[in-house]
């Protein structure tokens, strides 16, 4: 296998893992959000049927709130850990 083929294979593998990570984090953000259950179900169906377009539209529509929810979740986990000790 030539070196450039190995490079492209590793790059595609990395991009695939990054894509899976982005999809999973989008799913978790849908369930962390405060939208109604039906809206969550529609987003999940949209993400399953058209994943690339679904992630792009979701991040465009709710991108500013995604980081706020992630920070709030991390803070609540940190506070729960402090209460444990």
For 17-42, write each residue's pLDDT tens digit: 999 999 999 999 999 898 999 999 99
Q: Are 58 and 30 in contact (CB under 8 A)?
A: yes
Rounded CA separation 62/35 (Å): 11
If you count them, how many residues does the chain have?
Answer: 85
Residue 80 in tokens = 């729960």
Residue 30 in tokens = 């849908």
CA dihedral 49, 50, 51, 52 (to 10 degrees): 170
pLDDT for the residue numbered 81? 87
Per residue in 57-78, pLDDT (tens digit) is 999 999 888 888 889 989 999 9
DSSP state of 50: S
Q: In this model, does residue 1 exceed pLDDT 90?
A: no
The more confidently predicted of residues 9 and 83 is 9
pTM equals 0.78
Give residue limits of the domains in the chain: 3-84
């Amino acid at each position: 296998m030539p070196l450039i083929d190995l490079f492209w294979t590793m790059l595609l593998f990395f991009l695939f893992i990054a894509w899976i990570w982005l999809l999973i984090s989008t799913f978790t953000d849908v369930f962390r959000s405060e939208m109604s259950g039906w809206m969550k179900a529609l987003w999940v169906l949209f993400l399953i049927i058209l994943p690339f377009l679904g992630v792009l539209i979701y991040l465009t529509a709710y991108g500013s709130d995604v980081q706020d929810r992630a920070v709030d979740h991390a803070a609540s986990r940190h506070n729960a850990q402090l209460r444990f000790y």
